[in-house]
């Protein structure tokens, strides 16, 4: 069995294998996902500390590297977090950038369908990873909570993805039924399925939802809950 973390003897080859898996996966996807994975690969190649499992780089530097604005960086990093590929080790604060780790177990599991496309030797090497634990962690709800579709890339889709990652039980009970109704300027309008649902969210979760939305898009200044 190979270690997931690419350190020690054979680490250099392991790094190439992991990046190859990402590249092969990207090439099997549509242009939007291809671009996202290319951005992640560039970030890993340029700034990831393999030994410490740490990616510590500011949004401005990432924006310059990706040739995009900082708002796009925030949305893309949030998307990678909802995919489970990036994990926050230390949240950024004033004067300090967020420190991320890469969940290689998740990436290995997600890229596995494309290993054979690279070649049987590659699939055999990567197949030694099949001891990766893909067991779903039990949640305080019945059954598995399906993650939301974040493919449209809206601030609300990404916010729902983050809420699912942070608290699947809360997401299943109160967030999954909320839909994006529209946005004017910094005001994001969310539609609830009932008056009771809207009242509960407004009373107990509105501040948290606003924080998560601002984490994805800092231009969001207010959330309105309607029915």
What's the rounded Cα separation, in Å, for the pair 144 and 97?
33
pTM over cut 0.75:
no
C-alpha of 112 from chain center: 18
pLDDT value, residue 132: 37
Mean pLDDT by 10 residues, the chain (227 residues): 47 80 93 93 92 88 94 91 87 80 87 86 68 37 73 89 86 89 92 85 85 89 89
pLDDT value, residue 5: 54
pLDDT value, residue 135: 36
pLDDT tens sequence across 7-21 = 444 456 678 889 999
pLDDT value, residue 227: 87
Residue labelled with tokens 């950038």: 97
3-state secondary structure 79-142: HHHHHCCEEEEECCECCECCEEEECHHHHHHHHHHHHHHHCHHHHHHHHCCCCCCCCCCCCCCC
pLDDT value, residue 174: 87
Residues with Cβ within 8 Å of residue 29, at least 6 apart in sequence: 37
Domains of the chain: 11-127 (1.10.10.10), 155-226 (3.30.300.180)
What's the rounded Cα separation, in Å, for the pair 116 and 76?
28
Q: What six digits make up the tokens of 162? A: 């983050």
């Amino acid at each position: 069995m190979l270690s997931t973390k690419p350190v020690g003897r054979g680490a250099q080859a392991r790094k190439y294998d992991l990046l190859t898996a990402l590249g092969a996966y990207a090439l099997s996807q549509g242009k939007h996902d291809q671009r996202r994975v290319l951005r992640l690969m560039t970030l890993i190649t340029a700034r990831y500390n393999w030994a410490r499992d740490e990616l510590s780089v500011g949004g401005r530097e990432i924006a310059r590297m990706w040739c995009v604005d900082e708002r796009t960086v925030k949305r893309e990093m949030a998307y990678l977090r909802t995919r489970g590929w990036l994990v926050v080790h230390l949240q950024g604060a004033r004067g300090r950038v967020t420190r991320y780790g890469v969940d290689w177990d998740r990436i290995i599991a997600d890229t596995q369908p494309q290993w054979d496309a690279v070649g049987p030797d590659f699939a055999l090497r990567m197949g030694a990873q099949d001891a990766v634990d893909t067991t779903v962690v039990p949640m305080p709800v019945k059954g598995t909570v399906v993650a939301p579709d974040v493919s449209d890339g809206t601030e609300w889709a990404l916010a729902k993805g983050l809420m699912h990652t942070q608290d699947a039980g809360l997401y299943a009970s109160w967030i999954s039924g909320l839909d994006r109704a529209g946005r004017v300027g910094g005001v994001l309008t969310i539609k609830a399925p009932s008056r009771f649902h809207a009242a509960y969210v407004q009373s107990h979760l509105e501040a948290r939802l606003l924080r998560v939305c601002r984490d994805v898009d800092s231009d969001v200044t207010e959330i309105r809950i309607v029915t």
